[in-house]
Structure 1
Amino acid sequence: MVPLGNEGDVRGVTAAPPRTLWRAPLPVVVFLVVLAAAAGLLVNRSDTPLDSSADAGFLRDMSAHHAQAVEMAMIIYDESDDSRLTTVAYDMALTQQGQIGRMEGWLVAWDLPIRGAQPPMAWMAGHDHGGGEVPDRMPGLATDEQMEELRSASGVEAEILFLELMIEHHRGGVEMAEAAVELASEEAVVSLAQGMVDAQQSEIDLMSDMLVERGAEPVD
């Protein structure tokens, strides 16, 4: 199993387990991470972030962003016969599901709702790279049509589509995480966000190479 401390670096990852064991680890990871966060992290503090803070907004939006990445990774894990790609997909899904548990655990520890009252991405309004404007939607998210196309695809076509969509998804995640590094006030949140930037950029490079190996053009 990939250690929970791994933020997504796929180098040295052991082969994914058989598909029949696929869904078992994810609920366990979420339970343990949420339990640890709620039990010991940021508890009994009087200066926890506000509901409207960049910290809370990032944790909520990135949790939703990660959830789609997990779904995409599970789709290609079940579809592809390429052991290298399925290993990457397994590691990606397990890591991001674990991060969802950690992020939601912090919200619980701060006594904040998992779903906030503010519109998605409102916390990014102060991000310098965005010109102070709130994005219309979470950067990099696949549309419903693209997700349906991925579910319907097979073989190399499915692998290429997954890689193309996940590269864009990761680029959007990097944009959000960079904003959190700039705007968040909690050291733990900033550290997690920076780890996401580093890991997802590494995965973008790896997936770009995989696209070329399959005869597809790199994503611009």
Structure 2
Amino acid sequence: MTDTSTIETDPVTTSATRDRRPAPGRWALGAVAALAAIGLFLWTVVALGGDETSATPAADSADAGFARDMAVHHQQAVEMSFIVRDRTTDEDVRRLAYDIAQTQANQRGMLLGWLDLWNLPKTSTDGYMSWMKGGGHDGHQMKDGSLMPGMATNAELDQLRTASGKQAEVLYLQLMTDHHMGGVSMARGCAQQCDVSQERKLAQGMVDGQQSEMGLMADMLKERGSAPR
């Protein structure tokens, strides 16, 4: 996996749809800020101590299963975003990759923080996706060799690592579109099945945000003479 502590960054926007630009620095600085935000969030959860927040989900619950699986799912999105940033100089793609990496690293920290708060394991002996009732994935099926819906295979990641320029841009946008489709189906499952209200809200926020990014990525692919796979 890419070492985020040694990657130099250019000034980029924190959202593909906003013009605000942060000061130059390292991606790692953003990770530190994200961890600080996560710590504040978890402190607030504990401090509030509401009945629903303080209730501990079971290890085999949708709440725990979604937190475990989506943390893994998000980690791959962060990895792919770091990869493409080194494979192209296109500022639009690099800006999108930065935004996805920041957002999903932050959300991943929240999910893992909840598991720690609940004193639940971060892996399950039942395997991935066992929490989804009926095994449904919104019709988005897993590819052979992938861990969960939408996730890239090792072969696809290797292909992204060796691509460059426009080829890398198109492959990243296609892989990330598929990744978001799988993530949206999982997040919808939590929004319907999870009991913890904060987690349901986070899941719905993932649905909304990733659907918006899929529209943006479709436009970016069209500009490059391609389309989602």
- TM tier relative to shorter chain: 0.7 to 0.9
Q: 1 CA distance for matches of 2:43 and 2:191?
A: 25
Q: 1 CA distance for matches of 2:224 and 2:90?
A: 11
Corresponding residue of 1:5: none
Deviations 1:15-55 (A, max 9, x none): 4665x61233214423541x234433157666221111100
Q: Residues 155 and 17 of structure 1: is their aligned pair in 2 closer, same or farther, counting only changes over 3 Å?
A: farther
Identity among equivalent pairs (%):
42
Corresponding residue of 2:209: 199
| Structure 2 residue corresponding to 1:12, chosen from 4, 11, 18 | 18
Query: Quick check: 187-196 or 117-126, which moved more?
Result: 117-126
| Structure 2 residue corresponding to 1:210, chosen from 213, 217, 220 | 220
Q: Residues 10 and 121 of structure 1: is their aligned pair in 2 closer, same or farther, counting only changes over 3 Å?
A: same
Whether 1:66 and 2:71 are equivalent positions in the alignment is no
Whether 1:168 and 2:170 are equivalent positions in the alignment is no
Corresponding residue of 1:41: 45
Q: 1 CA distance for matches of 2:96 and 2:184?
A: 18
Q: 1 CA distance for matches of 2:104 and 2:19?
A: 15
Whether 1:85 and 2:116 are equivalent positions in the alignment is no
Indicate conservation of the 8 Å contact 1:127/1:179, yes or no.
Answer: no
Once the two structures are TM-superposed, the CA of residue 169 in structure 1 deviates from its matched residue by 0.4
- Structure 1 unaligned spans of 5+: 1-7
Q: 1 CA distance for matches of 2:15 and 2:26?
A: 22
TM-score normalised over the length of structure 2: 0.82
Indicate conservation of the 8 Å contact 2:143/2:150, yes or no.
Answer: no
Q: Residues 142 and 126 of structure 1: is their aligned pair in 2 closer, same or farther, counting only changes over 3 Å?
A: same
Indicate conservation of the 8 Å contact 2:138/2:185, yes or no.
Answer: no
Q: 2 CA distance for matches of 1:107 and 1:60?
A: 8
| Structure 1 residue corresponding to 2:153, chosen from 131, 143, 147 | 143
Q: 2 CA distance for matches of 1:106 and 1:215?
A: 42
Corresponding residue of 1:101: 109
Indicate conservation of the 8 Å contact 2:129/2:135, yes or no.
Answer: no
Q: Residues 22 and 41 of structure 1: is their aligned pair in 2 closer, same or farther, counting only changes over 3 Å?
A: same
Indicate conservation of the 8 Å contact 2:34/2:106, yes or no.
Answer: yes
Deviations 1:85-115 (A, max 9, x none): 2111101100100001111111111121222
Corresponding residue of 2:10: none
| Structure 2 residue corresponding to 1:21, chosen from 22, 26, 32 | 26
Q: 2 CA distance for matches of 1:26 and 1:140?
A: 24
| Letter of the 1:116 counterpart | S
* Greater relative CO, 1 or 2 (CA 8 Å, sep 6+): 1
Query: Quick check: 204-213 or 71-80, which moved more?
Result: 71-80
Q: 1 CA distance for matches of 2:143 and 2:167?
A: 31
